[in-house]
Structure 1
Amino acid sequence: MNPTFNIAVVGATGSVGETLVQILEELAFPVATLHLLASLESAGSSVMFGGKKLRVREVDSFDFSQVRLAFFAAGAAVSLSFAEKARKAGCAVIDLSGALADAVPVVPEANLEVLDSVPQPAWITSPSAAAVALAVALAPLKGQLHIERVQVTACLAVSAQGRKAVNELARQTAELLNARPLEPQFFDRQVAFNVLPRVGAEDAHGHTQLEQRLVRELRALLGMPSLKLAVSCIQVPVFFGDSYSVSVQSRGPVELPAVLAALDQAPSIERVEGDDYPTPVGDAVGQDVVYVGRVRQGIDEVEQLNLWLTTDNVRKGAALNAVQVAQLLIKHMV
């Protein structure tokens, strides 16, 4: 008889948390009892799982010794407040906030081997959606290219910042289409029909926390601590689905047929060929893969490879990756 596990999902009422619960059911994760947790404001609501409505309870009073594994999908402040409590109770932790500095980032398509050496109870980060997408696409290229530098422009959907951001884009769009005065609330200016060149506050050097997190995570996921990375995260008026313009600089000439073959054979990649190209709407949203298109050498440099990526940031980039890590992790917990 296969073992089952008591599981907790912290942040179960958020968009990532709800999707995570949905994927646990879709993938028939071996759940014995599922505990749904959230802040005081969200406690008392319910989420469907296994054909039943499960009541969401307050995380502050939860006893983590009741569960073997906890997903933290409620943001940095909640992870910093409760993840260590869970670990001390003997509970494995998969955090999606990036707030736990010593947690090990894992993307199964890129570095699943690290799970063999993670001490128990596991202390793991499911990386940012951008790091997941880039790691999935770049990991298979390591065997084909001597990667020296990667430049990324990340076009991020508002859903990365939660339901309030999604509601703000919807409200702004409606106001503008109805010729009503626009008063930004969640964002500091108009985001509808606009592009904001920064996501989050900048540090003294002009880099945002998300950009720095992406650099740290991608280096760790690819096992390339000295990889040179140039990253710009921009906010685009898209509800769901992140997209990335990626330029890879190789030490030697790019052999395009070998690169295409590596992408075609890699897990979780769907390559779009010919004069077609993938977009978030119509391709990526609701899907479990990273779409890759416009794969080409540089105009002037045969050592340069350019790609376009798009993926569902909430599903593939966040919730699905966390559950896939958990599927591998429980093999070490039996």
Structure 2
Amino acid sequence: MDRSINLAIVGATGLVGEAIIKLLADRKFPVGELFVLASENGAGSKVSFAGKSLTVGKADDFDFSQVEIALFAAGASVSQALAPHAAECGVVVVDLSPAFRYEADIPLVVAGVNDEMLAQAREQNLVACADASTVQLVRALKPLTEQGPLQEVVVTQFQAASATGKAGVDQLAQQSVRLLNGLAPSEAAQAQIAFNVLPVSGQMQENGFTSEELKLILETRRVLADQPLSVQVTMVRVPVFYGYGQSVSLRSIQGLSAAQCYTLWDGDEDMSVEDSDDPQAVSPVAMVEGPPAMRISRVREEMEAGGGLSYFSVADNVRWGAALNAVKIVEKLLKDYL
């Protein structure tokens, strides 16, 4: 990337927006001018970027013709209201919300998995980023498809409070403090997540799955559209601030060994396999400093020698699953498609 571009970040004061700003600086992305935007509540506050203090502007009033790319990290309602307008101004919108993920003419992208879909970016000036859950799953699955088509994947996801943004983090913190002080977890009618595990994440659907489970199923099938893949998902909310754990069992048509998986996963710059038996060592969520990464552990073959395999992965859903994926998509757009 030998030229700079002007960027806008909508939702700059949210968890993902803040992580994107830091990653742009850490990765020395060639930003000409950076416009940080938020709702009326966040406008006027300050954010830091590459040693500079930037004033947050109001997204509703912004002239998007000033930028080439706009990253939207403010939720589906904001994206639905503002992203089409930005796209009409000639801006390529990289949207992290679910607003456009299921529209056939808008590419749904996981960086490093289906980058070729970015060739369609200029058709609608819109790119949809897959959910952090999907990014974590398909980044691990895609290399394995080199050995042969995947047939079946069963996932149990342990989902952190930050899945719902700052509100979820605040809820867990407040409930924890109240319980430690002998009070009821909440004065409001909220489910107790502090010191608890909830086997429902998202809205329950008529078919018995939740909206979060269906999201992972549908997005995985779309991103890995060339795979004859059956996907089963169970989402569990756990009292953790950041990070998703995924327990994955899979079956390939050709069969897979642990050794083959180690080889296929080797060399990814932000993904690693950990063979330590130290439980703390396999969790990059505890490592808040340094580049965000996904770590895979507990790789084991099916005891009946039927060709099945299981593993456990963990990644920071905000920094790795959402922010890094979006930044890598922008890097790829600038390098090859703009």
Same-fold call, TM cutoff 0.5: yes
C-alpha contact (below 8 Å) 2:4/2:30 kept by paired residues? yes
> What one-letter code is carried by the residue in structure 2 that aligns with 1:312?
D
Superposed CA offset, 1:203-243 (max 9, x none): 21122222222122212222336421001111100001111
* SS of 1:108 mapped into structure 2: coil
Per-residue deviation, 1:331: 2.5
Q: Please report how far the alpha carbon of residue 299 of structure 1 lies from its aligned counterpart in structure 2 after TM superposition.
A: 2.7
Structure 1 residue 50, shift from structure 2 partner: 2.4
- Structure 1's unaligned 5+ residue stretches are none
The structural deviation recorded for 1:281 is: 4.2
**Distance (whole Å) between structure 2 residues aligned to residue 233 and residue 219 of structure 1:** 17
Q: Secondary structure at 1:42's aligned position in 2?
A: coil
Cα distance, 1:55 vs structure 2: 0.8
The runs of at least 4 consecutive aligned structure 1 residues that moved more than 4 Å come to 283-287
Deviation at 1:288, TM superposition (A): 2.1
Contact 1:244 1:308 in 2 (8 A): yes
1:118 maps onto 2:118 in alignment:
no
8 Å CA contact 1:96–1:126 kept in 2: the answer is yes
Q: Tell me, in whole angstroms, the C-alpha distance in 2 between the residues paired with 1:135 and 1:328.
A: 18
Amino acid at match of 1:234: V
Does the CA contact (< 8 Å) of 1:109 and 1:268 recur in 2?
no
Residue 178 of structure 2: aligned partner:
175
Q: How far does residue 52 in structure 1 lie from its aligned partner after superposition? A: 1.7
Shift, 1:259, TM fit: 1.7
Rounded Cα–Cα distance in structure 1 between residues aligned with 2:12 and 2:44 = 11
Please report how far the alpha carbon of residue 93 of structure 1 lies from its aligned counterpart in structure 2 after TM superposition.
0.6
Any residues of structure 2 matched to 1:131-280 within 5 Å, and which?
131-183=134-186, 185=188, 188-224=190-226, 226-277=228-279, 278-280=282-284
Task: Note closer, same or farther for the CA distance 1:32–1:111 as it changes in structure 2 (3 Å cut).
Answer: same
Paired letter, 1:328: K
Runs of 5+ unmatched residues, structure 2: none
Moved more, 198-207 or 127-136: 198-207
1:310 to 302, 314, 319: 314
Quote the residue 2:88 is aligned against: 88
The CA deviation at 1:119 is 2.9
1:153 positional shift = 0.7
Q: Which amino acid aligns with 1:49?
A: F
In structure 1, give the amino acid aligned to 2:171: E
The number of aligned residues is 333
Q: How does the TM-score come out when normalised to structure 2?
A: 0.92
TM-score under structure 1 length normalisation: 0.93
How far residue 333 of structure 1 moved from its aligned partner, in angstroms, is: 5.2
- The one-letter amino acid of 1:147's match is L
Is the alpha carbon distance of 1:120 and 1:32 closer, same or farther for their aligned partners in structure 2, counting shifts above 3 Å? farther
How far apart are residue 267 of structure 1 and its match? 4.2
- Corresponding position: 1:45 with 2:50: no
Aligned partners of 1:20 and 1:323 also within 8 Å: yes
Per-residue deviation, residues 115-137 of structure 1 (Å, max 9, x unmatched): 23433563111111111111111
Report the aligned-residue RMSD: 2.0
Q: Post-superposition shift, 1:286?
A: 5.8
Match of 1:288 in 2: 292
Letter in 1 for 2:327: V
Structure 1 residues 284 and 13, CA gap change in structure 2 (3 angstroms)? closer
Residue by residue over 1:94-120, the C-alpha shift from the partner in whole angstroms, topping out at 9 and shown as x without a partner, is 000121132312122211222234335
In structure 2, the residue corresponding to 1:109 is in which secondary structure? coil
**Kindly, what percent of the aligned residue pairs are identical?**
38
